[in-house]
A and B are shown apart, each in its own frame.
Chain A
């Protein structure tokens, strides 16, 4: 046959519907019929008719020759249509139910997707990540997570039999990257063991990974592998860039490979943050290490800066590897190694133990909050459907009376539930998608390409809500059809049991809401307490510009001159009151050492080495930072190279070394970090927070940058107001002085502080958000129950009013009833909140996880909501006209 034919797609669909045996004849008939329809009604009409035909075929096949069974499909369609029409007639109910279900589906989808993204998603491009283990040092005080030194790493790599390969990488180091055209970019680099890509099993996108003996000899074979993002962004995605020579911190390197797209190491949080990988042996050459003399004295052990992962050898279990490495660890001994040090292996390879702990507690909190919201939503929908069933009892009764079968009525109620669940699912999907973007912006973590709701999780939530809706829909449908017809027709009063179930469910909602609302108070208090911390230094109007003179290849003498010039020029900027430099940015990188016991200098001091934070600062530091001195003098312009090394220590260190003597006793004393570095204490400063928000006082010493050269250098500007506005001018100064220097962070101390409080803000925001969800749902539930009670007691209230009860008392009774319900729920909720407290333990800042004020706040809010929810029904009750009420029915 020539001419038009039924499109192949439809022929296929029809063939499937017809089944193999009768395929030919059926498809033939269908095509004939379709051609006829095309002639008569045109293409659109034929298509419509075709869809009907396919439905007919499906019905015929499903029926399978059993007479009548096929009617189910047509009936189901009718049920759905009727359900949709019924819901449209009661838009208030429909909108509430769909919204509640949407929240119930969307919130868990969002949170579980997030948890999945954080913990379960295997890192891209990495081969068999389940066979990798992270290796850390731990100590008997329970602290785990010590990185390894190069010596540790080399020793284990060469001696371990249970681990096939061991790779190591450093923390972030930024390098000045000068391309062929001379432009300078900042590249975030990781120093890695040469076998890094090989051990992780990451195939390069182009070029090659490091190759022996590259990366084993300091300063030789300067090669670099770049990330795909850096290659496209900075190198223009030019294939010729492979093999090109670039300058890193002024040294020539050859680009040998490009990592696969999206790869930035194991942690999803690193995504987009790593630009280049450089063999670890180049570290010294590239960075002209912070304190060269020190570095050279302990080249191997001094710095524990490597994160190590190993790939388990075939057939080796995690436990076997841990046992073997533990034994190896005992064999490795060096001067100063703590006796209680031991190796700890982690199966979780994506994050460092501390990050993993933080993420896990955040995830637990979210899961708890979402679980609670889900329960509230489910019980809320149940109440809604139960109420609806009550109000429809009459309608159903009439329909049963005129001959609608029970099955048919049940089916119709189910159809209504299903329609609600599907619409709720759609709303939930939208919520989860929008929420994913919000969450990606809100969380203090960055994921590659943000994250999307997970399809499987959504399907799970949808099935759950569908199941709930069907189960909930089934009960009232059965109840409605079982009831005595006469009774149903006679009056619409609902069975007592059902309203008791509703009351109980509403109390459950109140109780669960108490948990979330008091949780919201708890986290708000935690955040306020974090944000209101006295840090011991000023954060307002302080701008910080961080540069690393090593990146331009500056030797210390030139670097000094550079720093002086920048200081002078910055001080001249309008709006700048004072400028200084600091090695440490609060809560940022640290430079610590240990102070050995010294009975001669401090006989009453500690007999163990003492952790000592060491900061190199310039003249004016204490003034600019707003750290008060309690004794002596600050680091000043006289503390220059060649003079006696000066130090200001903090009050905590003074009190630790000379207990009882106080700050005054410390001034003038000499302490030695090691034989070459003996400092005269010239002053004592008030304690401040340096490493972690809310830390207990840490021993800290400030030395003169001029005397103990440390990099990078942070310029701190005290401004007369607009610190952020000066960022451009400050950058300009650095650029003018050294155009070849990449400028690192330019930020304000206020922003640094804000970053530090971010996780408390995030917990507070999230819990508050879920608390509000729960609160709204509970309010809806309470309102529904109270107004239903008023409605069904209209007559009784009318009688009472006729007998002389004042309106005020009638209204009061309604509100009291709501408050009693609320109080029962609140009491249960307080118990639950006590139990839930421990979930919050690691997430709150200087607030007890069981905080009486927060519990009180949660209880009061819920009682307030209960009272408020009763106001409208109470007014309605007060306006009941006794005559009308008694005449009705």
Chain B
């Protein structure tokens, strides 16, 4: 893993995946993005982000069993990996540090 970083959209997607836990699949992520972040994005954009983060090793995915729901079609489930959690925390830490600095300067 060569010090990959996260794009802003990738970060949002990862956060949704983390938040959704077991039930993270494309449509659910899309809904979470819409409700949690007010971002209406296409499934294509989400797949693209997931493809990239998966290549970077931040996300794992596996195909679920076909279920009668969705016309018997299987879902692909996503979960954030250790590395993914790490990079999310890293990103959060940077932001908080920066916010703190700003707060300090303001006071």
- Measured CB to CB, the residues of A under 8 A from B are 1, 5, 22, 24-33, 36, 52-53, 55-61, 63, 65, 67, 70
Contact = CB atoms under 8 A, between A and B. Distances in A.
B73 A56 contact: no
B61 to A, nearest CB: 9
A1 B42 contact: no
B53 to A, nearest CB: 12
B37 interface: no
Contacts of A56: 41-45
Interface residues of B, number: 25
Interface stretch (B13-21, B62-70, B94-102): B62-70
Contacts of B44: 53, 55-61
B70 A53 contact: no
A36 B31 contact: yes
A831 B71 CA distance: 75
A752 B46 CA distance: 77
B48 to A, nearest CB: 5
Nearest to B54: A65
B52 interface: yes
B26 interface: yes
Given A30-B43, A56-B43, A59-B44, A1 B27 contact: no
Interface string B56-98: 0000000100101111011110000000000000000000000
A33 B40 CA distance: 11
Q: Binding site of B, secondary structure by majority: helix, strand, loop or mixed?
A: helix
Given A63-B48, A65-B51, A25 B26 contact: yes
Contacts of B74: 24-25, 28
Contact of B71 (A28, A52, A53): A28
Contacts of B25: 25, 29
Contacts of B63: 25
B69 A60 contact: no
A33 B27 contact: yes
A53 B42 contact: yes
A53 B73 contact: no
Given A25-B63, A60-B47, 10 more contacts: A1-B70, A5-B71, A25-B26, A31-B73, A32-B70, A36-B31, A60-B44, A60-B45, A65-B55, A70-B48
Contacts of A59: 42, 44-45, 48
A30 B31 CA distance: 12
Contacts of B41: 56
Contact of B73 (A24, A36, A55): A24
A596 B2 CA distance: 109
Contacts of B70: 1, 28, 31-32
Given A36-B27, A67-B52, A29 B43 contact: yes
Nearest to A18: B47
12 contacts: A24-B73, A25-B73, A25-B74, A28-B74, A53-B43, A55-B42, A56-B43, A57-B44, A57-B47, A60-B47, A60-B51, A67-B52
Contacts of B26: 25-26, 29, 33
B47 A26 contact: yes
B43 A26 contact: yes
B82 to A, nearest CB: 23
Contacts of A24: 66, 73-74
A33 B47 contact: no
Nearest to A61: B44
A59 B51 CA distance: 13
A1 B43 contact: no
Contacts of B47: 26, 57, 60
Contact of B27 (A5, A29, A57, A58): A29
Contacts of A61: 44
Contacts of A70: 48
Nearest to A36: B31
A790 to B, nearest CB: 53
Nearest to B76: A25
Contacts of B31: 33, 36
Contacts of B75: 25, 28-29
A22 B47 CA distance: 11
A32 B63 CA distance: 17
Nearest to A25: B76
B76 A1 contact: no
A95 B68 CA distance: 57
A16 to B, nearest CB: 14
A60 B48 contact: yes
Nearest to B28: A32
Top 3 nearest A-B pairs by Cβ distance?
Answer: A56-B42, A56-B44, A29-B26
A60 to B, nearest CB: 4
B45 A32 contact: no
Contacts of A30: 27, 43
A56 B44 CA distance: 5
Contacts of B73: 24-25, 27-28, 31
Contacts of B45: 56, 59-60
Contacts of A1: 68-71
B50 to A, nearest CB: 10
B78 to A, nearest CB: 11
- Scoring A5, A25, A57, A61 by chain B CB atoms within 10 A of each residue's CB, the highest score goes to A25
B57 to A, nearest CB: 15
Contact of A52 (B27, B42, B51): B42
Contacts of A5: 71
A33 B30 contact: yes
A22 to B, nearest CB: 7
Contacts of A27: 73
Nearest to B27: A32
A67 B69 CA distance: 33
A185 B47 CA distance: 75
A22 B25 CA distance: 13
